[in-house]
Structures are given as structure tokens and as C-alpha cells.
Amino acid sequence: VTHIPFPLDTHWLAIARDDGFLAAAVAEFVRDGLERREAAVLVASARRWRLIRAELEALGDDVSTAMDDGKLVILDTTATLGRMSIGGQVEPSRLATELLPVIDRVRAANDAAQVRVYSEFLDALWSRRSFDLVAQLENAWHELLKVESITLLCAYNLDPLDERKDPSQLMGLCRAHGHVHAAQDSARRGEAIRRAMDDVLGIREVGRLQMVLAAAGLPSGDKGTAELTLLWLRTQVPHLAHRVLIQTCRLLEEGQMPLAVAAT
């Protein structure tokens, strides 16, 4: 989906399978930034912002004060896309023109060296199947990140293991980012995938696979690395990946997980 040969560590991707988990991932991203004395700009719909705000407040953050102090700025997704459009078509070249002045104002007002940005409109365009436009915007963000002190979170409401989706397209999306975070049931699901790989491929083959993956230069991630591994396998050996996925589903349904993981 994209053509970014060297993704940046400041270009993050969160993948979740429902809005609640997606909001939790964004809230974690924002809170971590505020704790580091960074400012944050969020481009979100009113509905998604309500979910993110609820997650932040559940974590103990004083959202109203952060907004009043200008440390947290919220922009509406539809309005932002409208300002980036020419003749009803979103123009990626207008990304910097529209958002950089806001980011610079927030940075200056808070004396923040780094600004965290979350943008919902990429997910909105993906859901409309505007994949080429998403690729262009991801590349536009990449160019901006190369010259600006910004950490960007792109969060998509999708399942990387959904066999109805094109794995090459999803892998392209992952490869465009330097850091991937799968937000939903990542510990339990990851353990199921690892056990399923051992069952289907055998421990020796899994070890070889890990060496291949290390050489493939996949993005890093603190959560969701097992999902990313299985997604990569879908692009290379789909029939084996299908068997692993079937076994993963069986393990999850039967609850054959270590108790410490199943309790998370």
C-alpha cells in the first residue's frame, strides 16, 4: 500500500478490532507523551474523541486542564479533511499546510521539543477503501516526520489476521511504520499464535522463521509481534498460515492458554 523504504521510529501504527480498544491505544500514546512533557494534537471525530477522553480520564489524567493549558488540542476529522480537499478530493500535498501551523503553535506554547499527533482520517479513508489515498497520505506524513520533531500514531480499526483481507496490502501498511502495536487481547492472542506455530510448524521451523523475520526488517513492536509474524507468513506461505490460524482459533476457543495469560 505504501512505498516507504526506511520507516522512522517516530511513525507508529496501532491496530485494533473495535473502537474501544483503538481508543485505549490512542489514550496510552497520549498519556505517555504528556508524562514526558510533550504536547499532543489529535485529529478525531466527536465520537472517537469521547472514547479516547473516557480512557484518559480512567487512567487519571486531567483532560480539561490539559486542553485549557493548550497541551492537548483536538481537531475534527471531517473538518480537517474538508480543509485538505480541493474540488471535493483530499489533496495529500495540503497535509503540511493544514496541520503544521497547529503543531508549531502547540509546540511553541508549551516549549515542547516533541509533539505527539494522532490522526483518525487515515482510518476513515481506509474504511472507504481509498487505499491509494491512504498510501499517499502515509508518504506525506513520512516526509513531514523526516524534518519535524513529531511522533505520529496512525491507528486503524482492522484485524491483521482477517483472511478476507489482502495480506500483502496489510503488510505494506505495517512496513510503512517503524513501530507496530496490536491493541486488542495482544498477550492472550500472541501466546495462542506462538503455540499454534509450534504445533503446526514445529519448534525447529519456528526458530528458522524467526531468523528469516529478523533479516526481513519488519517493524518493531512491544505488542502484536506474533500477529505481525503470522501476517508475514500469510504473504509467503498462505496454506501454512491458514493452518496456523485455524489452530490459533481452536486454542482461543478452547481456552488452552496458561492461566496467567488467560486472566489478562
Last residue of a domain, one of 117, 139, 158: 158
In a domain, 2, yes or no: no
Counting every residue written for the chain, the total comes to 264
What is the per-residue pLDDT for 29? 92
Domain that holds residue 126: 8-158
Q: What is the pLDDT of residues 55-106, one digit of tens each?
A: 999 999 899 999 998 999 999 999 999 999 988 888 988 999 999 999 999 9
Q: Are residues 33 and 128 in the same domain?
A: yes
In a domain, 1, yes or no: no
What's the CATH number where 72 sits?
Answer: 3.40.50.300
pTM, to two decimals: 0.81
Q: What is the pLDDT of residues 102-161, one digit of tens each?
A: 999 999 888 878 899 999 888 988 888 888 899 999 999 998 998 889 999 998 888 877
Average pLDDT over residues 214-221: 61
What is the per-residue pLDDT for 258? 39
Q: How confident is the model at residue 227 (pLDDT cuts 50, 70, 90)?
A: confident
In a domain, 196, yes or no: yes
In a domain, 175, yes or no: no
Q: Are residues 189 and 154 in the same domain?
A: no
Q: How confident is the model at residue 184 (pLDDT cuts 50, 70, 90)?
A: low
Q: Are residues 74 and 29 in the same domain?
A: yes
Q: Are residues 88 and 212 in the same domain?
A: no
- Rounded CA gap, 36 and 251, in Å? 39
In a domain, 180, yes or no: no
Q: Are residues 95 and 42 in the same domain?
A: yes
- Identify the burial level of 14 via C-beta atoms within 10 angstroms of its C-beta, where 0-12 means exposed, 13-18 middle and 19 or more buried: buried
Name the more confident of 237 and 3: 237
| Average pLDDT score, the chain | 84
Number of domains in the chain: 2
Q: Poorest-confidence range of 48-52, 122-126, 257-261?
A: 257-261
| Cα distances (angstroms) measured from residue 116 to each of 88, 164, 180 | 28, 33, 16
Q: Poorest-confidence range of 3-7, 48-52, 172-176?
A: 3-7
Q: Are residues 124 and 210 in the same domain?
A: no
Q: Are residues 137 and 24 in the same domain?
A: yes
In a domain, 209, yes or no: yes
